[in-house]
Structure 1
């Protein structure tokens, strides 16, 4: 989502809906669902707000939105004929209000990643792991204010693209087969940055201008995973079961092998000075070695910067 001056749009068509109050036009809004595009003109605030996703790139959606194709996104909006955007001015002046940092990586087994993430959370009081449309997981921090909310979704992009809501969009692509083939065995990591403060902090930029944001370096997705997940267990640590392991196993089974339930019970039994991370570590390791679908995953290798 980007914001710029209302002077950077003209030739508004009939598809825009006017919001009128006391015979004065307050705003104009345009919306299409697929590919997602929202345009809002706030006349009283001199603001033009545009929201779109990489699907706006059509056959080039596989490249995601970046420095090289942001102009193409705006040109494609102009090609729709609903309005005319001053592309050069927007590229130079716009600031980013919200964005998703996205990486598509080659991996054929979303269940392996989902199980690993669910069983390696450092602190289930601070972070929750939820199922995502039977196709992945969502990591969210437990906070009371929206500006501090962090959300990382990990899912099978090929399966998501195959859903019925995307069918008409795919059928309209000239390179439909190439796009579908590209996303086979692709897992998407999608980090939502929902405020300028989050954008600055996670992308390590001083300004949230469109130019600065698209030029940002670093790997904020990996930073989030480092913050949330425990280090993998070494092979030497997973040999056999001890008597203490069997006691922990009974405790796990009593709580449906759900580490969040286990942690809640542990917190009720120990003093406030006890290290929850240290206490929970044996339970995570035990559950990890008992579940054959969970193997050590190196996220730094998986999320390495593309060449």
Structure 2
């Protein structure tokens, strides 16, 4: 096992016309780890994945997978990677086992090896009982698991997952999280893009936050939350005028804002002196703060602090400074 990163991108640049999509992006992903790419729409996540998977050529910079250049050594790169998109790319008219056997044959396996690989993957993804059924009758979660199984037929060393749990119900999402965690424990390097911040918090060893084609923060979920406020002080204000005044006093330190509930939140270290100082700053006359709550910071707070706006709300999701 080499200590070289499984995925390495150095000063990647990409533009479409006058629109700069990647602006000197550098990433290094350790072997057997899970890396989450976070960022608002247009941050450059998908373009990064397309370059790393040889689907798009960069305008500048370099990228390597297992030491192979994604431009000059595309064949070697493609033999080591797999890509699973937002939606299951399986044949609904075939059964689960037929899909996996077909993928095995396309990957160069003999008939017997393709059968064995299909059976192993169906068991691994808890699809053994459904293997003989047509995929058209599968639930959304089952299709996503089958799609992920299909992407592993060739036993890639690196797998790219683009919004892997889009559209899944909470139970199916949890099941897929277990599968992804098992992949990493088995030595597969996983790079996923997501706007579900809980997903990154649950799965990722390291989170890279992109904004405007640049890396604006990088670290473990715990490190990022510690850096941008291990805890959060939420203040309930008396009325809308008080809320506006509180936001003005806190300025760019605001990490949570809910006008409907007359709430504003700010990062804090959780100590009594700091909380007291914040309360005195926001409400020096002690008339406008109705209630306050101290809670643990989330990646949503980090995302807001770094990009200036919250991640997409769950109902609409579709699909750095070193720490």
Bigger share in helix: 1
Could you tell me the TM-score, scaled by structure 2's length?
Answer: 0.24
Q: Would you tell me which structure has more strand in proportion to its own residues? A: 2
Q: What's the TM-score, normalizing by structure 1?
A: 0.24
